[in-house]
Amino acid sequence: MTLMILGKLKKAIPSNGGKGADGAHVVALDIGTEYVKVLIARIDGESIEIIGAGKAHQGLDDMHSGAIADIAAVVRNCEQALGDAEQQAGMTVRQAVVGVAGELVKGLTHTIRYKRAEPDKPLDMDEMEFIIEKVQERAHDKVRKLVAWETGNEDVEIKLVNSAIVSIHIDSYKVSNPIGFQGKDVAIQIYTAFAPMVHIGALERTASELDLDLIAVAAEPFAVARSLLGTDASSNFSSVVIDIGGGTSDVAVINDGGVEGTKSFGIGGRAFTKTIATEMDIDYNRAEMLKVGLTDKDEMNGADKAKVLKALTKTLDVWIDGVELALSEFDAIDHLPNHVLLCGGGASLQPLVHVLKETKWYKDLPFTREPTIQRITPEQVAGIKDSTGKAGDHTFVTAMGLLRVGYDTMVGTGEAADSLKDKLNRMLRI
């Protein structure tokens, strides 16, 4: 029934194939464990305007730990959300960016140092391409071994999904654009994110079933970081970002305008719901309703609230341990940023925010002072305007980040992308 309705809807809406009189258009598809979220945006210059938004609930068996478990069911949910977004936007758009998440999605920053044979010769694009290839090769081997160890499968296949320059030093001197510089010792840091091919294949099949042209797949914590950084190449923005989804929590560290790395662990909103259901001996749907009541609106009566808070205690303790462990693995960073930003549906859970603000979970981590905790606001998402009124809170930040990755991809492959920065970025894309 959904397929037939959507088919009629698409015929009733003019399709622009991704292009319009006012500029390019892109679809962001955030396939989460709990919800599918779709945003359609118009791109004009450096401006990204959201003109359509849709959201659909996922079934309990549709996703597992942030990855697709039932392609057919997920496609149906995506069709519903996409249809709502297209109806609001008044058009169909085929160019799409989709997010990938889960514990086996690995993001890390790798550094390569080498001595140039001709230090007096200015560094050129060919030499930069050689350096970047070497960094990505080393990162690929490292992540493949890590995923093989975690899964017990030596033959696991992984694919690069995102890559971005964090920093470049020539003879210990930091440069933002290395082209034309002379020097002997070059050190380059590149953030790379990899995902198992089975995850990528499921996303590609989903996009194909939806008749979308997949222009990019993005690691979701990387996308969230991009939403905060925008187009400012000289940004010195620093923060710890925690995206709490239905199946996993993703942690990203942004330092001085660069993504230092991303980590993920398998505790999200559904773990809290299951804990309430088990501890209070109630069904899942009732437990979900009680959990949703623990928001800033505080719509729950005192007796129920006390029971739910007691049920959540152990899982919250395990969750905060997961955050601590994830951040402890950023051992190459001298100091963690003192600002923690939250997004995702799980960030609506007030007891979770409370435990971050009120406990000393950070005392054994390299913070220089007690970190501040807040949810990401629309004003903090750089260069993206919501004209729909439906995507203006922390639960849509990941989808907004996917729009930013779509912007990066479309601008970086356009005819006008002739700057040295654009050429470097094209090297980093797959």
List the one residue out of 198, 35, 32 whose CA is nearest residue 104. Answer: 198
Q: Which two tokens stand for residue 44?
A: 């004009």
Contacts 24+ apart (CB under 8 A), 11-19: 13/86, 13/87, 13/90, 13/91, 13/92, 14/90, 14/91, 14/92, 15/91, 15/92, 15/93, 15/94, 16/91, 16/92, 16/93, 17/93, 17/94, 18/93, 18/94, 18/95, 18/213
Summarize the confidence of residues 198-221 as an average pLDDT.
Answer: 90
Whole-model pTM: value is 0.81
Element (H, E) at 424: helix 420-428
Q: Report d(CA 329, CA 326) in Å as an integer.
A: 5
Q: How confident is the model at residue 429 (pLDDT cuts 50, 70, 90)?
A: very low
Using a pLDDT cut of 90, give the percent of the chain over it: 43
Q: 267 pLDDT exceeds 80?
A: yes
Q: Report d(CA 188, CA 424) in Å as an integer.
A: 13
Contacts 24+ apart (CB under 8 A), 422-425: 423/125, 424/128, 424/132, 424/165, 424/177
Q: Find which of 3-17, 250-264, 276-290 is predicted with most confidence, using mean pLDDT.
A: 276-290
Q: What is the pLDDT of residues 306-340, one digit of tens each?
A: 888 899 999 999 999 999 999 998 887 889 999 99
Quick one: pLDDT at residue 295?
66
Quick one: pLDDT at residue 28?
96
Quick one: pLDDT at residue 141?
80
Quick one: pLDDT at residue 10?
32
Q: Find which of 133-142, 196-205, 369-378 is predicted with most confidence, using mean pLDDT.
A: 369-378
Label residue 247 exposed, middle or buried (CB < 10 Å: 0-12, 13-18, 19+).
Answer: buried
Q: What is the pLDDT of residues 268-286, one digit of tens each?
A: 999 999 999 999 999 999 9
Q: How confident is the model at residue 165 (pLDDT cuts 50, 70, 90)?
A: confident
Quick one: pLDDT at residue 278?
93
Quick one: pLDDT at residue 13?
36
Strands 258-265 and 19-20: unpaired
Query: Are the C-beta atoms of residues 382 and 401 closer than 8 Å to each other?
Result: no
Query: Are the C-beta atoms of residues 345 and 34 closer than 8 Å to each other?
Result: yes
Q: What is the pLDDT of residues 132-159, one digit of tens each?
A: 787 777 777 877 787 778 777 777 788 8
Count Cα atoms within 13 angstroms, Cβ side, for 338.
5
Using a pLDDT cut of 70, give the percent of the chain over it: 88
Q: What is the pLDDT of residues 61-90, one digit of tens each?
A: 998 878 889 999 999 999 999 999 999 999
Q: Report d(CA 128, CA 113) in Å as an integer.
A: 12
Sole residue written with tokens 């920065």:
421
Angle at 169 between CA 119 and CA 336, to 5 degrees: 165
Q: 393 pLDDT exceeds 50?
A: yes
Q: How confident is the model at residue 191 (pLDDT cuts 50, 70, 90)?
A: confident
Q: Would you say how long the chain is, in residues? A: 430
Q: 425 pLDDT exceeds 60?
A: no
Summarize the confidence of residues 7-16 as an average pLDDT.
Answer: 34
Higher pLDDT, 22 or 42: 42
Element (H, E) at 279: helix 269-280
